[in-house]
Amino acid sequence: MPINITMPALSPTMEEGNLAKWLVKEGDKVSSGDVLCEIETDKATMEVESVDEGIVAKLVVAAGTEGVKVNALIAILAAEGEDVVTAAAGGGAAPAAKVEAKVETPKEEAKPVTDKAPAASTPAPVAADGSRTFSSPLARRLAKEAGIDLAAVSGTGPHGRVVKKDIESAVAGGGAKPAAATSASTAAAPAPAMPKGASEEAVLKNFADGSYELVPHDGMRKTIAKRLQESKQTIPHFYVSVDCELDALLALRAQVNASAPEKDGKPAYKISVNDMVIKALALALRDVPDANVSWTDTNMVKHKHADVGVAVSIPGGLITPIIRSAETKSLSAISNEMKDLGARAKSRKLKPEEYQGGTTAVSNMGMMGVKNFAAVVNPPHATILAIGAGEERVVVKKGQMVVANVMTVTLSTDHRAVDGALGAELLGAFKRYIENPMGMLV
- The residues assigned a catalytic role are 415
C-alpha distances in angstroms, 171 versus 115, 152, 160?
Answer: 17, 12, 19
C-alpha distances in angstroms, 7 versus 39, 142, 339?
Answer: 9, 28, 31
Q: 218: number of CA atoms within 13 Å, CB side? A: 14
Q: 256: number of CA atoms within 13 Å, CB side? A: 22
8 Å CB contact between 330 and 268 = no
**Bridge partner residues of 254 (DSSP):** none
Task: Report which DSSP code applies to 441.
Answer: G
Determine the Cα–Cα distance for residues 426 and 293; give it in Å rounded to an integer: 12
- 3-class secondary structure, 224: helix
User: What CA dihedral angle connects 108, 114, 119 and 122, to 10 degrees?
Assistant: -90
Task: Report which DSSP code applies to 162.
Answer: B
Write the CB contacts of 7 (distance below 8 Å, at least 6 apart in sequence): 16, 17, 19, 39, 61, 68, 69, 70, 71, 72, 74
Q: Would you tell me the crossing angle of helices 273-287 and 247-258 to the nearest 10 degrees?
A: 110
- 3-class secondary structure, 141: helix
The separation between the first and the last C-alpha atoms of the chain, rounded to the nearest angstrom, is 62
